[in-house]
Structure 1
């Protein structure tokens, strides 16, 4: 069986383009994307979960105020990176924190981080 050299050359030219396009799609799903509706009940639920988990670990008594902004990243589930405003019990001040929560495909949530914004 004889292979046409033109077919071979076409494969050499177009195959990398298809592979790159596929890799780019994968990269886009792994990059952080803005959350369009930060008032979505699920986003609020994620923020409240993060505050509750942080309070348990730190002994703080923060209360949820609002989600200021947020991004999400699709991985094996979804990472949520949110800026949340919290109210302190002692000072009654509102402070902003950046938190990351990983929500697994099963719906289980895992607290990742909670850091004050300078």
Structure 2
């Protein structure tokens, strides 16, 4: 992971690393459950981290809908101490 500073976001050097793909998969899955959708993760193209009482991961990703249309999204996943303690705090489409 990138060296993190408290308060601000830091961009990580390798957004395609397995741990970020796992977080993005979690984000898409949670978004699908809450919205009764079927988005499929295609890629993660940027990850920013923010140290708080845990870590906020801002994931910039591409996902495909059931009609095979791809869109970019920004999702924030909050992790507190253990990776099993994850919460999707936002999931928003990016403007084209």
The answer to whether the superposition gives a TM-score over 0.5 is yes
Q: Matches of residues 52-67 of structure 1 in structure 2 within 5 Å?
A: 52-67=29-44
Q: Matches of residues 72-111 of structure 1 in structure 2 within 5 Å?
A: 72-89=49-66, 91-107=67-83, 108-111=85-88
Q: Matches of residues 13-92 of structure 1 in structure 2 within 5 Å?
A: 28-89=5-66, 91-92=67-68
For the pair shown, the structure with the greater C-alpha radius of gyration is 1
Shift of 1:64: 0.6
The structure with the greater share of residues assigned to helix is: 1
Question: Relative contact order, CA 8 A, sep 6+: which one is greater?
Answer: 2
Aligned to 1:29, the other structure's residue is in SS state coil
Q: Which runs of 5+ in 1 are unaligned?
A: 1-27
Q: Which runs of 5+ in 2 are unaligned?
A: none
Shift of 1:106: 2.4
Aligned to 2:6, the other structure's residue is in SS state helix
Where does structure 1 differ by over 6 angstroms across 4 or more consecutive aligned residues? none
| TM-score between the two structures when normalised by the length of structure 2 | 0.89
The structure with the greater share of residues assigned to strand is: 2
Q: How many correspondences in the alignment?
A: 90
**In 1, Cα distance between equivalents of 2:46 and 2:54:** 20
